[in-house]
Each structure stands twice: as C-alpha cells, then as structure tokens.
Structure 1
Amino acid sequence: MEKIGFGGSCHWCTEAIFQSLMGVTGVQQGWIASEGAAEAFFEAVIVSFDAAQIPLAVLTAVHLHSHSCTAGHSMRSKYRSAIYTFNDDQIPVVRQAIHQLQADFEAPIITRIVPFRTFKLNREQYQNYFYNEPEKLFCQNVVKPKLRLLLDRFGDVITDRAQLLVKKK
C-alpha cells in the first residue's frame, strides 16, 4: 500500500471523491502541514491506495479535475491546492501527470507538490461524512454534484457503491 495526500477543497468533498475510487483502501480527512514556509495546516486527506489497481497518475488526474486547481481564490488560505508526497519516488510521477494534464485546463495549474510533514485527524463524527449521511443537504448540494462530474470523466475507476449513490435521485 502507498499513501499520498491531497488538498484543494473542503475535506468532506475530497474524502468522498477518493473513497469512491476502486483501488483506494482508506481515506483519512483532517489537516496536513508540509515544511518550510508552508508549515500551516490546510484541509486535506491522506489516501491509502493499491498502485496496482489505481496508479498515482490517475489519482492525480482525479484530484486536479475535482477541485479548482487553476484558481487562486479567496479560500486558498484554508483550501490549499496541493499534493503531499510521502516519498521522493512520488514526485516525478506527480510532476509528469500534472504536466500532461495541463492540456485539460485553460489556465495554468497552481497545484503545488510538497512533502508531507504531519497530519491532524478530524473528529470521528466527521469521518466518512458523505457515506455516513448522503442525504444531508451539504452532501446533496455540494458533494454529490462533484461525484457526478467525476463519474462522467472517470467512470471506469468509480466504485459501484458510489455510482449507485450518485445516480440516486
């Protein structure tokens, strides 16, 4: 199993997105810090995955297409667009994926590749937020539309459970 961190949107949304992928064995949501001037904590998730089932490049593509990876909007102080690497071998894979995916976007991708430093897990009551209560208004109005878009682009790696929930009216 490998681990990688992703940030860029509300961690409830990001958690649901990565929990919906085949080959992902676990998602923890909370706050990640990197190093250097970027030591602040940002909402993010740690994704555990089987690279034989879902490559890091595919996870990177899902991440970039599931949040505003080209926008330096006002919420970036809370939702940093970043990929937190757990080892040096992940850096060139992520860098290459971002380079190849740039053609999918009109503006430059601002997502940073930074080393993982530390993590603060969110409270238990907020873990598995979407899948515990998919009928909540936030889940219906914010999370589900993101999953619907994801299903259109990455349907071949979306779990059956996620497909059923997304298609459910």
Structure 2
Amino acid sequence: SYTIDMGPTGPQWKESPQPFCCSIEDPTKQTKFKGIKTYISYRVTPSHTGRPVYRRYKHFDWLYNRLLHKFTVISVPHLPEKQATGRFEEDFIEKRKRRLILWMNHMTSHPVLSQYEGFEHFLMCADDKQWKLGKRRAEKDEMVGAHFMLTLQIPNEHRMLGSI
C-alpha cells in the first residue's frame, strides 16, 4: 500500500522510508542465440543493496510500461527513445546511458514509483528464471489504473473531506 501524509500545504505522498539511488555503468555489447541477437547490457547498482544486476534497454522499457499501466494518475517520464540504426555506436550508447541515469534518478526519488514491487524486482533480481516469474507476477497485478487508488492509506483527517 501507498500512504498519503498531511504536509504543510495539504496531502502529499509519504516519503520513501529508505531513499536510494542507482548507478548505471559499463554498457557492454552482448549476444545470445549463438550471436543471432545482439544487445547492450547495463550494470545497474542500487545504493541500498550494492548488488549489481544487468539490464537491457528492453528491460527498462518493460518497467516503464508497467509503471504507466499501474500508476495512471502519476506522471512517469519517458524513457530515452529506441533507435533501430546506429544503436551500437559509442556516442549513441553513451548518450542513452546518460539519459537512463536521469530517468532512474527520477524513479528512485519518487515516493511512490520507487516503492513499486515491480521496480524493486527490476533492481534486485539477478536470476533469469526468477526475473521471468517476477515479470509475470507484475503483469498479473490487478491493482492498476483506477484500482491503484484502493491501495492508498489516507490519514483520518482527510477521510471526512468527501462529506463536506
């Protein structure tokens, strides 16, 4: 659940109990299926665990789409754009990495998005089999869109506002 607190100017999201940041480093060209598929892998290291995971752009894209689907009432910034040609050029890779860092900094500093179970899975799951299971679990989440509002914990002083 997500909590709303009373702030100095009114209701606000409760701050994250454990603020953190992430580093995104070491973009590396990888292959799979005996070289048929080529992609860039990034080392993502959350400050609160210090344990790196390796993510492709498509994993960031999956997370972005999960966030959009679950939190329709929260503005989620766009990821850096996909690029079909030149995606293995050094300049493009460096530019994308910098933009992914900016995007990740926004996500980790957001009091709601940073607490999302799917985001935690993205940052902490290093095992391929567990990664796929966690993705499926996030994709089956029923508390999305307007249903997300059912997961909110609202302070008692604001529950009466509907009767005014």
Q: Which TM-score tier does this pair reach, normalised by the shorter chain?
A: under 0.3
Instruction: Report which of the two structures shows the higher radius of gyration computed on alpha carbons.
Output: 2
TM-score (norm 2): 0.26
TM-score (norm 1): 0.25
